[in-house]
C-alpha cells in the first residue's frame, strides 16, 4: 500500500516539475495524470489480487513454525 502513495507522489512531483512552464494548465494536467496513476494503482491492488495475496501471506506468517509448509 505504501508503494502506491510513493508512486503517486513521485509522478505528481515529476509532472509538476516538467510542466512548471505552463502555469495552471500544467498543474491541471499533472493532477489529472496523477489521478489516473492513482486509479490504476488502486485497480491493480484491489482487483488483480494483491490485497488478497497480502492477507494470505500474513495468515501464513502467523502460523506456528511447525505448521508452516
Please tell me whether residue 19 adopts helix, strand or coil conformation: coil
How many CB atoms are closer than 10 A to CB 34?
Answer: 20
Of the candidates 30, 28, 3, the residue with the CA atom closest to the CA atom of residue 14:
30
Over residues 8-54, the pLDDT tens digits come to: 788 888 888 888 888 899 888 888 988 888 888 788 777 777 667 77
d(CA 48, CA 65): 30
d(CA 61, CA 56): 9
Q: What is the pTM of this model?
A: 0.57
Whether the pLDDT of residue 1 is over 70: the answer is: no
Amino acid at each position: 500500500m505504501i508503494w502506491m502513495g510513493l508512486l503517486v507522489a513521485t509522478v505528481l512531483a515529476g509532472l509538476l516539475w516538467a510542466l512548471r512552464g505552463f502555469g495552471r494548465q500544467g498543474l491541471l494536467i499533472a493532477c489529472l495524470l496523477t489521478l489516473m496513476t492513482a486509479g490504476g494503482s488502486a485497480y491493480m491492488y484491489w482487483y488483480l489480487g494483491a490485497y488478497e495475496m497480502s492477507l494470505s501471506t500474513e495468515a501464513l506468517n502467523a502460523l506456528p513454525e511447525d505448521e508452516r509448509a
